[in-house]
Each structure stands twice: as structure tokens, then as C-alpha cells.
Amino acid sequence: MRKTVYGLAFALVFMGLAVYGSAGTLAQVSAGNNHTAAVDSDGSLWAWGSNQAGQLGDGTTAMRHNPTRIGTAINWAAVSSGRYHTVAIRTDGSLWAWGGNQAGQLGDGTAASRTVPVRIGGDSNWASVSAGRYHTVAVRTDGTLWAWGHNEWGQLGNGSGGWGDRSLSPVRIGAAANWASVYAGHRHTLAIRRDGSLWAWGRNDTGQLGDGTTTERRFPVQIGTDADWASVSPGAYHTAGVRRDGTLWAWGRNEQGQLGNGGGGLGDRSLAPVRVGTAANWAFVSVGESHTAAVGTDGSLWAWGGNSAGQLGDGTTNDRNIPVRIGAGTVWASVSAGNLYTVAFGRDFVLWAWGWNEHGQLGDGGGGLGDRSLAPVRVVQ
């Protein structure tokens, strides 16, 4: 019989709000391409789903359909899942990575894949990290910004780019030392400075940077002049963010309604941020491949955009071009949107998932060709 993961008391920091588990420590969950990783409230690390490049970190390349404990360490603080790699920070400020590494996205100075976590450098001042498609970005406690991996579209922000360009180890981006947070998309990157200003760089063919153009950027460029951004989430071809006043904004591709502004259709896009609805009580937003999900300060969960695999969780496969409420019976704490699937946990610390499950990324024990869930199911171990 499957057992619900009550012991995995998942939590997350967002918008300055910390949600704590039974052990009183901080934890987090991250949906990637076809795999999911999470930190429990006791500091242990868990992963499940696809594992062909060792992205789960359990020493194998075997797919896992339920949460699997990674190592024995109990000092993990945060984790981020990319396409075929995973990165994480421990409570001592050390940085670790594992999985696919063909573009140097692990940052260990090689292009060799790793099936177990390897430490990146000897520094212990890493504050946050984010894994993209084939690149990684991070901020140190001193406010400096670093990037490594694939750089074909300038997504590292170091001024270079082009076919085959990459960095096998962390490189510092610019001279600024006032970065607060950074977020890696598929081929573009967004970051917020401590003054609340928003910056973006990398691929921009659908306006995913939000600077009003479709011009690729190889250095960080400021998006607008506002200095009140709280958080942002880049996906494949669109981006969404929350401002400090609780308003929600989105930009980039909108063919499946993923901007949530009521538009959609072939070629539809926005080259600059557009406000999503009139509500001003948004707490957190997460962008997937072609869909978006967000949590309100009242604990309500909403989703919109592409829904071919049930990744919105509304019980259908219909695309939605405005936010629709998901799981009204649960008070939600946070959400993470992956590639055609979504994971979220309630304030009761029960973790749920829905959408595509071919690789076991939902963690409900299922999986296989065509497997999916159109509504939230509990993650079990």
C-alpha cells in the first residue's frame, strides 16, 4: 500500500514569507523537466522521476516513481531542478550539483555527468542557485552574481555567446554586488537587485526578456524602470513575476494563453510585462514549459496556459487563457511548475502533483507511457 508522505513536511520561502515544517527548519520543492527534487524539513534531500543522466543523485540512472532519499546528509537548504541536472545549497553555504554536464552546467570544471552530488569549488558563501535547461546561475551572500554552462544565447550574461560557447565553472557576471535573487529559464535568465529592479538577458525571440524587443542580450539589461519586483519566474518562452504590491505580471509567448491576459493563438506574444487581472494579492508565481501557476496570499492556487497533459490540474485538458482556481479545498503554501506537470504543497505540508507522469515525476508510484493525472494526486513513498 502506498504511504502518503506526511513525514516530508515541505515548505518554501517566497515573498519574504517562510513556511516551516514540523522540525522547524526550512525546506523546498522544485519541478524540473521530467524530475522533481525536494528538501525535507529535517534537511534531508529527496528526488524522483527521470534519471537517465543521474539527475536524481542517488548513484544510479534508474527512474524512480516515488521520492527517494539522496545520501544521508541532513543539512540541505535549497534545491533547483533543471532539464537533466540538479543543483543545491547546504546550510553551510556550500554549493553542490549532479546530473548531465555536457555544457558544463554543473560547474565542476568538467563536462562529465555525475550521479551523486559533487561539491562545486570550496566557497561557503552561496545564497541561492537556479538550474535552467543547460545553464546554472547563482548569487553569493556578498551580492555577487555568477553563471556557468551553456551560453549560446548569452544566457550567462558575461558578454559572450554563440554556437558552442559555454563555461565549465562559475564566472562572475559584471561588477555589481547588489544582486538579491536570480532565476534560470530554458535559454534566458532573470534577476532582481536588492533595490527591487528587474534585469534580464539571453534569448529573446518571443519577448521573454520583457525589454520591449526580440533582441538577444548578452549582458543584463534592466526591464522597465520600476524598482518594486519581489520575485520572478522564467520558463521556456515566457516569464512571469510578482511585484511588492501583490500584482502579477507576465510577458513573452502567449500562444496557449500562458500569460493569463485573456489572449492566445498562433503568434500571440507580449514583448513587455502585462498585468494579469486586477487582483493585488498574489504571493508567488512559477512558470513551466507552456503554463503558469500562482498562489495568492489567501492560500488559493491558480493555473493557466497549456494543458495537454493536465498540467493545470483542473480536471481537463483544455488550455486556459485566464487563471482558473485549482483545488479549492486546500489552503496552498507554494507551487512549482515543470515541463507539462506541476507540484505544490498545502499549508498542512502535504505534497501534491499533477500532469504528465511518464517518468514518475509526480511521485505517486505511477508512470509509463501516457500516464498522467488531470487533477492533484498526493505524492507518496
pLDDT in tens, 104-135: 999 999 999 999 999 999 999 999 999 999 99
pLDDT tier for residue 27 given thresholds of 50, 70 and 90: low
Q: According to the model, what pLDDT value does residue 111 have?
A: 98
Q: According to the model, what pLDDT value does residue 194 have?
A: 98
Q: According to the model, what pLDDT value does residue 251 have?
A: 98
pLDDT in tens, 232-259: 999 999 999 999 999 999 999 999 999 9
Residue 70: how many other CB atoms lie within 10 Å? 24
* Grid cell locating 104: 558544463
> DSSP letters of 86-142?
EEEEETTS-EEEEE--TTSTT-SSS---EEEEEE-SS---EEEEEE-SSEEEEEETT
**Separation of alpha carbons 75 and 222, rounded Å:** 35
Number of helices (H), then strands (E), belonging to the chain: the values are: 0, 30
Q: How distant, in Å, are the alpha carbons of 4, 68, 134, 286, 381 from that of 1?
A: 10, 17, 38, 32, 10
| pLDDT tops 70 at residue 24 | no
